[in-house]
Amino acid sequence: MKKKIILDPNADFYDDALFQPAFLDQEFLLAQECRPLRLQMELLKPEVYLSKAGVNATVIVIGSARIPSPAKAKAEIEHLQQQSPIDQKALKIAENKLHYSRYYEEAEKLGFLVTQFRGQGEIERLHIVTGGGPSYMEAANKGAEHAGGPSVALGVSLPHELGPNRYVTPELTFKFHYFAMRKMHFLIRAKAMVVFPGGLGTLDELVETLTLMQTGKIDRLPILIFARDFWEKLIDFNWLVETGMIAENDLKLFQYVETAEEAWGMIKAFYHL
């Protein structure tokens, strides 16, 4: 039986689920009609806390959550090789993961280089921002921690979610329900986007950012893509040019890189840091 609240001895009974301020009524706030309010709150909450923390210029690091560190990738291969019979399909996938795990260390280096930067003028300091997950995101957050600075994590509610990695800065870690609001916060303060090998989520974030720049919805910023061999096999940008789907000039919206030093050098050159 629901608890009732009596306003006075002669009053009717009132349902306490309704007789409370709207902002305390979770059932009401989660109703379909309140979706615009929830969208606004997801935009506003990180805005408030990031502004208070002085985070106004960021470098986005995105990429797969499924690529382990080199040590873990090697251990997985050794484990599969000890099986009888050997699962050749699983072994091939593990070998591919080992191949791209070499960029884990580059993500960590980049997190360090970005976080230790101190400048003047418009960009006095840069903060790493990731999705807060494992793999390349973890590495970038780890590099920021080793540089002695904070980093931002923008997580999202997902099935079988593991939670943020151990290197995120707790007071700068946020959880989103709506992908759209999360992607907006990735870009609001972005001065560069660094893209490592990834799947559908990484593709979504990369292509949307390229589209926003292509259409003039956001200002140009460096888009630095690690692992040319991966991305050229995944997306044939030249074919898009040849078929007239994009202009040849659109190929200048991004650049391929292979090392953290190369990526950081391009960011510094773009802003004359």
Extended beta strands in the chain, E state: 4-6, 13-15, 58-62, 127-130, 152-156, 173-176, 190-195, 223-226, 255-257
If pLDDT is split at 50, 70 and 90, which confidence band does 8 have? low
Res. 273 pLDDT band, cuts 50 70 90: very high
pTM for this structure?
0.90
- Structural domain contains residue 175: yes
Distance separating alpha carbons of residues 58 and 55, to the nearest angstrom: 7
In a domain, residue 97? The reply is no
Domain-located, residue 9 = no
How confident is the model over 136-170, as pLDDT tens digits? 999 999 999 999 999 999 999 888 767 899 999 99
Domain annotation covers residue 181: yes
Residue 204 inside a domain? The answer is: yes
* pLDDT at residue 10, as a whole number: 53
Q: Tell me the pLDDT tens digit for each residue of 35-53.
A: 999 999 999 999 999 999 9
Mean pLDDT computed over 133-138? 96
Q: How far is CA 118 from the centre of its chain?
A: 23
Inform me whether the pLDDT recorded for 255 exceeds 70. Answer: yes
11-40 mean pLDDT: 81
Q: Which domain holds residue 198?
A: 39-69+104-271
Query: CB under 8 Å to 115, separation ≥6 — which residues?
Result: 126, 127, 128, 143, 144, 147, 148, 149, 151
Cα–Cα nearest to 179, from 200, 194, 196: 200
Please say if the pLDDT value at position 16 is more than 80.
no
Confidence check: pLDDT of 13 > 70: no
Of the pLDDT bands very low, low, confident and very high (cuts 50, 70, 90), residue 25 is confident
Q: How many separate domains does the chain show?
A: 1
209 found inside a domain:
yes
Listed residue (19, 22, 24) closest to 2, CA to CA: 19
Would you say residue 91 lies in a domain? no
Query: Is pLDDT of 6 > 50?
Result: no
Could you tell me the end-to-end alpha-carbon distance of the chain, in angstroms, rounded to an integer? 66
Residue 146 in tokens: 């080793």
For the cut 70, the answer to whether the pLDDT of residue 244 exceeds it is yes
Residue 25: inside a domain: no
Q: Between 194 and 29, where is the model more confident?
A: 194
**CATH number of the domain that residue 128 is part of:** 3.40.50.450
H-type alpha helices, 30-154 = 35-52, 70-81, 88-116, 136-146
Residue 76: predicted pLDDT: 96
Average pLDDT, the chain: 92
Q: Closest Cα partner for 144 from 111, 182, 102? A: 111
